[in-house]
Amino acid sequence: MTSAAPTFVPPAAAPLPGTPGRLSADIGAALEGRIRNGDYAPGARLPTEMGLAEEFGVSRAVVREAVARLKADGLVESRQGSGMTVAQRPASGSFKLPAEARSAESLSHIFELRALVETGAAELAAKRRSSAHLATMYAALQGMGEAVRMGADGAEDDDAFHQAIAAATGNPEIRRFIDFLSGQFSESRRPTWDAQGHASGRARAAQAEHERIYAAIAAGDSMAARQAASRHLYQAASRVGAAPEPPIPDTNEETNHG
Amino acid sequence: MTSAAPTFVPPAAAPLPGTPGRLSADIGAALEGRIRNGDYAPGARLPTEMGLAEEFGVSRAVVREAVARLKADGLVESRQGSGMTVAQRPASGSFKLPAEARSAESLSHIFELRALVETGAAELAAKRRSSAHLATMYAALQGMGEAVRMGADGAEDDDAFHQAIAAATGNPEIRRFIDFLSGQFSESRRPTWDAQGHASGRARAAQAEHERIYAAIAAGDSMAARQAASRHLYQAASRVGAAPEPPIPDTNEETNHG
DNA sequence: GTCATGAAAGTTGTCTGACAAATTTTTTTG
DNA sequence: CAAAAAAATTTGTCAGACAACTTTCATGAC
């Protein structure tokens, strides 16, 4: 193997054309592709670092850096002395949303997932809310009301309100996931609002929806809380231009519950 | 600074006692702690790689490897020539569930999140299911029925059934998230079932619940699908010993919707 | 022939030094 | 004072080496 007689240099792996922006990133993507494609089966041994370095035509440091990302993502494990192996359950460690190429369709999908979780959270919050949670929600509600009167958007209190609902579920995983999802929108929502000028009738409408959610949770009416949250979130989606197909899921419709 | 006259070697950072298992992992954890603690504010510049290497008493390669993980996690960004900066929005890139120390309480929280998403998915699936999705669900249903008759658990078809529902939402993000969540249980659920001996009455009960979900989705009755899915998931939670507080959310209760 | 023992090879983890590429800062020049 | 050029920084990559650990294989004892 070490007989690196450069006779003809087999084009095993092209030098990765395109943007040579980040060498280790490219190689990491290539390896991830092989793993997800099944080229490297779960539990199987990967080639050695030196082997990969030779194959890709880079130094061992680059390979190590690329593999470091895969290890962080839980796709690859390594033990000193032994080798590197593909994790038994690849891509199970963390959930990621498409960071780039956020098409309007993709955005609406993410928003729908958020609506799904937050409506359920509102239902749970109505069942389990404590007085402390209610106080936090009420404070955020008043903050938003004041912001509307002063012409601001009150985005900060809006976040606080939704986070208080999430916390009122008593389920830290639900709370963390809602935090995670709402964080995905903080770049796209604010500019839209600001571009619309200062808080207009939209903000007042949103405020009315917030008050309806709060009233339902305070009253312990879980179904009303779900309905109010659903209406609010789908309207928020349309405000940001990411409305899914059904504007409002008609929870009230007179279907036969047979 | 470069006057490294080793007069007394300030104990700026202890040599990281305890398990010296993975040097880069320890340093990565230390840096992550500083970022999450606010020592390094979002948007601020980190010390240079050489500076960190000197501070921790390791080589630059180790620092680079530690930082590589932070970059993969989206906590740190770096540009060649400039420096490394703390990401504006740390810890927003991926959602993780507690991998270790899965207490029964934590497990029930995760299960509740899953129930929340899957009930919503069932509702959406009832509204949007295509004939192809229904066929996939039906095949999985029949596979599970056969498994029950043969005394197996049919866990594979069970996964397929739930994944078909997730796919029928037409929302790839919802499908991916359900896949992610169900993957978190594949280690804990199977042993429990197997430990109970071969498929017993529990399997038959689960099968009846599956059939009810399928019927509701096929009929396009979104509320019935939600209810059936909710019942199934909370029963599944109790089967695995992770039942949240309310056994079944009484969607039917005669609350005052006024 | 089988099993324990130990040497040897292979592999990841870390160190050191160096250069390339890109950015930032400083200096020079008009 | 402004613009251009040079110098200093800093990350990205390369190369070689050694340490720590694991696996494999050869050796020898029974």
**Each residue of A85-144: pLDDT tens digit?**
998 877 667 888 876 555 677 788 888 999 999 999 999 999 998 899 999 999 988 888
B23-86 topology per CATH: Arc Repressor Mutant, subunit A (1.10.10)
**In a mutagenesis test of the B interface, which of A49, A64, A107, A173 is the best target, namely the one with the most B β-carbons within 10 Å?**
A173
- C-beta of residue B170 within 8 angstroms of C-beta of residue B128: yes
> Could you say which residues from 183 to 202 on chain B have a Cβ atom under 8 Å away from some Cβ of chain A?
183-184, 186
Nucleotide nearest to A57 (CA to C1'): D14
Quick one: pLDDT at residue A151? 67
Count interface pairs A-B at CB distance under 8 A. 130
B contacts of A122 (beta carbons < 8 Å) = none
A24 Cβ contact partners less than 8 Å away, ≥ 6 residues apart: A62, A63, A65, A66, A69, B68
Residue A197 above 50 pLDDT?
A: no
Estimate in Å the CA A94 to C1' D19 gap, whole number. 34
What are A46-67's pLDDT values in tens digits? 999 999 999 999 999 999 999 9
Interface test with B, best of A88, A113, A181 (most B CBs within 10 A): A113
**CATH T-level topology, domain A104-239:** Four Helix Bundle (Hemerythrin (Met), subunit A) (1.20.120)
- Rounded, the Å distance between the CA of A84 and C1' of D21 is 14
CB atoms within 10 A of CB B256: 8
Is the distance between the Cβ of B79 and the closest atom of strand C smaller than 7 Å? yes
Burial bucket for residue A27 (CB in 10 Å: 0-12, 13-18, 19+): buried
d(CA B153, CA B199): 5
Q: Tell me which architecture the domain covering A1-94 has in CATH.
A: Orthogonal Bundle (1.10)
Q: What is the pTM of this model?
A: 0.72
Are B65 and A65 a contacting pair at CB < 8 A? yes
pLDDT of the residue at A194: 46
Q: Percentage of residues in chain A with pLDDT exceeding 90? A: 41
DSSP collapsed to 3 states, chain B: CCCCCCCCCCCCCCCCCCCCCCHHHHHHHHHHHHHHHCCCCCCCECCCHHHHHHHHCCCHHHHHHHHHHHHHCCCEEECCCCCEEECCCCCCCEEECCCCCCCHHHHHHHHHHHHHHHHHHHHHHHHHCCHHHHHHHHHHHHHHHHHHHHCCCCHHHHHHHHHHHHHHCCCHHHHHHHHHHHHCCHHHHHHHHHHCCCCCHHHHHHHHHHHHHHHHHHHCCHHHHHHHHHHHHHHHHHHCCCCCCCCCCCCCCCCCCC
Q: Does B252 touch chain A (CB under 8 A)?
A: yes
* pLDDT score for B173: 93
Tell me, yes or no, if A111 comes closer than 8 A to chain B by beta carbon.
no
Tally of CA atoms within 13 A in the half-sphere of A77 that contains its CB: 12
The answer to whether residue A101 neighbours chain B at the CB level (below 8 Å) is no
pLDDT at residue A193 tops 70? no
Residue ranges of chain B with pLDDT lower than 70?
A: 1-21, 91-92, 99-103, 151-154, 186-202, 238-258
Average pLDDT in chain A: 78
Residues of B in contact with A73 (CB under 8 A): 72
A61 shares contact with chain B (CB less than 8 Å): yes
User: For B68-117, how does the pLDDT look when each residue is reduced to its tens digit (9 = 90+)?
Assistant: 999 988 899 999 999 999 988 776 678 888 765 456 777 888 889 999 99
- Mean pLDDT of the A64-92 span: 88
- Cβ contact A66:A25 at 8 Å: yes
Flag whether residue B212 sits within 8 Å of chain A, measured between CB atoms. Answer: no
- Domain extents in chain A: 1-94, 104-239
Q: What percent of chain A has pLDDT over 70?
A: 72
What are the residues facing B95 on neighbouring strands? A95
More confident of the two residues B194 and A84 = A84
